[in-house]
Amino acid sequence: MRIRVFAASAAFAFSRVLPVAAFAFIGSLAACNRSPANKTGGPPRVALVLKTLNSPFFNDMQRGAQAAAARLGVDLVVQAAEREVDVDRQMQIVENVLQTGVLALCLTPAGSRELVPAVVKANRSNVPVVIVDTRLDPAAANEAGVKTASFIGSDNYEGGRIAARFIVEQSRGSAKVAVLEGIPGHETGDSRLRGFRDGIKDTPGVRIVASQPANWERDQGFNVFQNMLQAHPEIDTLFACNDMMALGATEAIRAAGKAGSIRIVGFDAVEDARKAIREGTMAGSVAQFPDEMGRIAVEHAVHAIKGEAVVPETKVRIELITRENVK
């Protein structure tokens, strides 16, 4: 049993291959005989194609998948583009892994519409596909006749509503809000944004004064929010559709000499965000549990390989993390 990790950066990937493989081998000796063999006669090979490996969120998802692979005797191949916005690279990765004899594909689509043709190719190769975290665009998927075995993810719309309710409560119904969006047209970010807007619509005193994409990235969170502060110095609250953008914004706030004066709520509750919440530089973050997503994805992939029934949709829990419960 092997677990192999690849990324656009060879040095990044190589640093993780040996320890991961050693851990997985020890944990799966007893399990290897329980699963169907892959096309080359070894343990079943499953591909996990993530958006990026340069994110704590997807690192946690990878760890959950690796733990399940070790337990189930799966040859797990993990690949990702260097950046979350590199949709073309992810499409190329999917096409490449399909040529390596994988028996199932677990995919976190970097583009809800753009990755549909790659899933079509998996369907044509009779490779079951488990979609994780970000849904395919329903219209594009239906038009292409795409079939997927399962979807595993959080209720991002409800997560946006949870963030909105928290801000309404903390601000006592009066706030001038900036929003850092994800990638435009990206299902995950769009759902969070829609949930947030719906969550504040009945509170007229909570008003969005600026809303712009920062493409999930920390450096863009810094740059975009720095410009927002210059254009709208009245901003007293920020909702960021993920924690990396929120963390970039905290640096912009510090650089502007406004530390402690702007309420920040993020999404994902990665470790750096939890630290910021403990220190008081962030007010809260909506926690997902990506390790559970990774674990369930591999379990569902194995069921699909065996021809067993697979639950078509699994919602992973979400939870608001604040200073009261961060410890």
User: Where do the domains of the chain lie, and which CATH numbers do they carry?
Assistant: 3-153+290-316 (3.40.50.2300), 156-287 (3.40.50.2300)
Residue of 156, 164, 208 whose CA lies nearest to 186: 156
pLDDT band at 38 (very low <50, low <70, confident <90, very high): low
Q: Where are the beta strands (DSSP E) in the chain?
A: 3-7, 45-52, 75-81, 104-107, 129-132, 150-153, 175-181, 206-213, 237-240, 263-268, 284-287, 313-315, 319-322
Q: What is the pLDDT of residue 22?
A: 32
| Residue 290 in this model has a pLDDT that exceeds 80 | yes
Coil, helix or strand for 276?
helix
* Residue that is written with structure tokens 């909570």 in the block: 206
pLDDT band at 5 (very low <50, low <70, confident <90, very high): low
| Residue 317 in this model has a pLDDT that exceeds 70 | yes
Alpha-carbon distance 105 to 126, whole Å?
11
Q: What is the pLDDT of residue 28?
A: 33
Torsion angle defined by CA atoms of residues 218, 212, 321 and 160, in that order, rounded to the nearest 10 degrees? -140
Q: What is the pLDDT of residues 66-77, one digit of tens each?
A: 999 999 999 999
Planar angle of CA 293, 322, 63, nearest 5 degrees: 25
* Average pLDDT of the residues in 148-152: 97
DSSP 8-state code for residue 110: S
| Residue 18 in this model has a pLDDT that exceeds 50 | no
At 67, list the tokens. 């733990």
Q: What contacts 84, CB < 8 A, 6 or more positions away?
A: 51, 52, 55, 110, 183, 215, 216, 217
Q: What is the pLDDT of residues 235-277, one digit of tens each?
A: 999 999 999 999 999 999 999 999 999 999 999 999 999 999 9
